[in-house]
Chain A
């Protein structure tokens, strides 16, 4: 079956083989319609479409012979437009739809050329529109076709013989027809790709403009946010929190890049001097995050301390707005082998001292909680006569402001721990250490996203959800398969 059809046919295919082959052929690659079995292809298509075209097959025979006759015509096509124009006009009545044939271009080019040229140059037009166009073309040309039948009937015999001869192997005869068709197809393809390129460039330009506009808006919003930073109000995320989230996302991206760079540098066995520079940069990058967190703590300490800025799995391990330094050291210790005796002692001391510092800060925070609770419960909680409500509130506000100090001290502890690790370890060990830290947090983030997208049991699931569940299950399966 001639599924292969030329580009010039692809637009008419909806008409030609519309009833059965619309989807399949609509975007087919341009191929030479004239295969070795030209005649067979034609007749194959004929048979196919006969099935669909029940009514008005009166002209079928004549139409068949007519179009076949024109296949034998060896006149060169000036442009693809004329090809398509004539092709379109060759099928005005439904019976002629089945022939993606050589056009009767000499008869109808001037009349229908402009109309169909528009069609031929527009690849993105819907085929239904093509259909309607062609149908109008068809109806217009139908009458003409009928007039031409008598004129060309004399040629039918001659061209039928040509058609038969043309079905012999094409390598022997000069394939003018094929070359012409191929050239036409190439032109069509080139025109289409030019149009696609133009459309793509337009899309790029518009997105560029949009991006510039969005950046401008963000700048404006950020400056306004800084201006209004003192009074967050009752909205869910204060501007300080929102700003921190944006900055943190950017930091994470940066971090990913640096980890990749570090990984590459480590395995490329760079000299220690170069590696040291990269490791120092990584440490500085972590310091930048602590700076960000410090300023975020001043504007919205609850955003940090509740861990909204982290992923769920990280939040599970959250201690005072971040990771617990002693836990991190404990996790890293086995990853850093081999260590010298001195290094081992240093790291154990680090673990112990960070643990003591954490303990101290936690106890301080506990006292803050207790003190706050006492203030809130001060006086009578039951009786409405509470004269010192605002006094209580003022006191509580003062105590709450201490929270900021604790988060900042906790971050300070984290920063100092990282710096001490960097001091104890050699350059290569430090590189591996930072990679390990990055990878550990990456895994926690991956765990979080897997957890969020895990398939859930829906009690009394309706039909609609079953598909989702199975898809989700498959998705998580594929995710797990990579581990």
Chain B
């Protein structure tokens, strides 16, 4: 029955067998979303830095899958999951915006500074090629 109701509202989600706590679900959802495309960007529609990261990829000829968290009904949870992920991997100041966050090939690359650092030191393009987002 949860399927039906859930499926109707969230048709794009895969059926969840047993809904655990919200954070876990969100985390799982996040992982799932991140693995769905070669390049995934979690963003907020009004965030200018997110706009910058999108422009960066478009400039390189990459078309990322963008998830706007403010337009997502469960975006808040996702944001929290992302914050936990960032907190676990190292740097995230309290109050600083979590987005944009970039996943390439299902693996976390990081926030804007990591993406730019990767691009400058030449590791971004091979990563993109490996994930199949770039052909050259």
Binding site for B on A (CB under 8 A): 346, 349-350, 353-354, 356-357, 359-361, 363-365, 367-368, 371, 399, 402, 405-406, 408-409, 412-413, 416-417, 419-420, 423
Q: B residues 105-136 with Cβ under 8 Å of A? A: 112-113, 116-117, 119-122, 124
Candidates B96, B97, B122; contact of A353 at CB < 8 Å: B122
B116 engages A416 (CB within 8 Å): yes
A360 engages B59 (CB within 8 Å): yes
Max chain A C-beta neighbours (<10 A), residue from B51, B116, B122: B116
Q: How far is the CB of A411 from chain B (nearest CB, A)?
A: 10
Given known contacts A363-B51, A409-B49, is B56 in contact with A357 (CB within 8 Å)?
A: yes
Q: How far is the CB of B103 from chain A (nearest CB, A)?
A: 18
B48 engages A353 (CB within 8 Å): no
A416 engages B121 (CB within 8 Å): yes
A360 engages B117 (CB within 8 Å): no
Given known contacts A357-B56, A360-B53, A405-B97, is B120 in contact with A368 (CB within 8 Å)?
A: no
Ordered by A's residue number, 27 sampled pairs between the chains whose C-beta atoms are within 8 Å are A346-B122, A349-B122, A353-B120, A353-B124, A357-B56, A357-B119, A359-B55, A360-B55, A360-B59, A363-B52, A364-B49, A364-B51, A364-B55, A365-B52, A367-B48, A371-B46, A402-B49, A405-B49, A408-B113, A409-B52, A409-B113, A412-B116, A413-B116, A416-B116, A416-B120, A419-B121, A420-B122
Complex CA–CA separation, A322 to B111 (angstroms) = 22
Complex CA–CA separation, A6 to B127 (angstroms) = 89
Max chain A C-beta neighbours (<10 A), residue from B52, B55, B121: B52
List B contacts of A350 (CB < 8 A): 120, 122
List A contacts of B120 (CB < 8 A): 350, 353-354, 357, 413, 416-417, 419-420
Closest to A404 in B: B96
Complex CA–CA separation, A460 to B116 (angstroms) = 56
Complex CA–CA separation, A406 to B51 (angstroms) = 12
List B contacts of A361 (CB < 8 A): 52
A368 engages B48 (CB within 8 Å): yes
Given known contacts A346-B122, A423-B121, is B52 in contact with A360 (CB within 8 Å)?
A: yes
List A contacts of B121 (CB < 8 A): 416, 419-420, 423
Candidates A356, A363, A364, A368; contact of B119 at CB < 8 Å: A356
A367 engages B117 (CB within 8 Å): no
List B contacts of A353 (CB < 8 A): 119-120, 122, 124
List A contacts of B56 (CB < 8 A): 356-357, 359-360
Given known contacts A359-B55, A360-B59, is B119 in contact with A371 (CB within 8 Å)?
A: no
Residue B18 is within 8 A (CB to CB) of chain A in the complex: no
Complex CA–CA separation, A20 to B96 (angstroms) = 80
Encoded as 1 (CB less than 8 Å from any A CB) or 0, chain B from 44 to 67 comes to: 001111011101100110000000
Closest to A416 in B: B120
List A contacts of B124 (CB < 8 A): 353
List A contacts of B96 (CB < 8 A): 405
A416 engages B48 (CB within 8 Å): no
List A contacts of B52 (CB < 8 A): 360-361, 363-365, 367, 406, 409
Binding site for A on B (CB under 8 A): 46-49, 51-53, 55-56, 59-60, 96-97, 112-113, 116-117, 119-122, 124
Closest to A364 in B: B52
Closest to A363 in B: B55
Complex CA–CA separation, A417 to B120 (angstroms) = 6
Candidates A354, A359, A402, A423; contact of B48 at CB < 8 Å: A402
Complex CA–CA separation, A180 to B48 (angstroms) = 90
Closest to A353 in B: B119
Complex CA–CA separation, A349 to B122 (angstroms) = 8
Complex CA–CA separation, A456 to B8 (angstroms) = 77
A365 engages B116 (CB within 8 Å): no
Q: How far is the CB of B136 from chain A (nearest CB, A)?
A: 13
List B contacts of A360 (CB < 8 A): 52-53, 55-56, 59
Complex CA–CA separation, A446 to B41 (angstroms) = 45
Q: How far is the CB of B53 from chain A (nearest CB, A)?
A: 7
Q: How far is the CB of A67 from chain B (nearest CB, A)?
A: 90
Complex CA–CA separation, A346 to B123 (angstroms) = 12
B48 engages A371 (CB within 8 Å): yes
B117 engages A409 (CB within 8 Å): no
Complex CA–CA separation, A361 to B50 (angstroms) = 10
Complex CA–CA separation, A399 to B49 (angstroms) = 11
Closest to A350 in B: B120
Complex CA–CA separation, A349 to B60 (angstroms) = 13
Complex CA–CA separation, A198 to B126 (angstroms) = 73
List A contacts of B113 (CB < 8 A): 408-409, 412
Q: How far is the CB of A377 from chain B (nearest CB, A)?
A: 16
List B contacts of A364 (CB < 8 A): 48-49, 51-53, 55
Complex CA–CA separation, A412 to B116 (angstroms) = 8
List B contacts of A406 (CB < 8 A): 48-49, 52
Complex CA–CA separation, A329 to B60 (angstroms) = 20
A356 engages B60 (CB within 8 Å): yes
Closest to B122 in A: A349
Max chain A C-beta neighbours (<10 A), residue from B56, B119, B120, B121: B120
Q: How far is the CB of B66 from chain A (nearest CB, A)?
A: 14
Closest to A349 in B: B122
Give the 3 A-B CB pairs with smallest separation, nearest first: A364-B52, A360-B56, A416-B120
Closest to B46 in A: A371
B122 engages A357 (CB within 8 Å): no
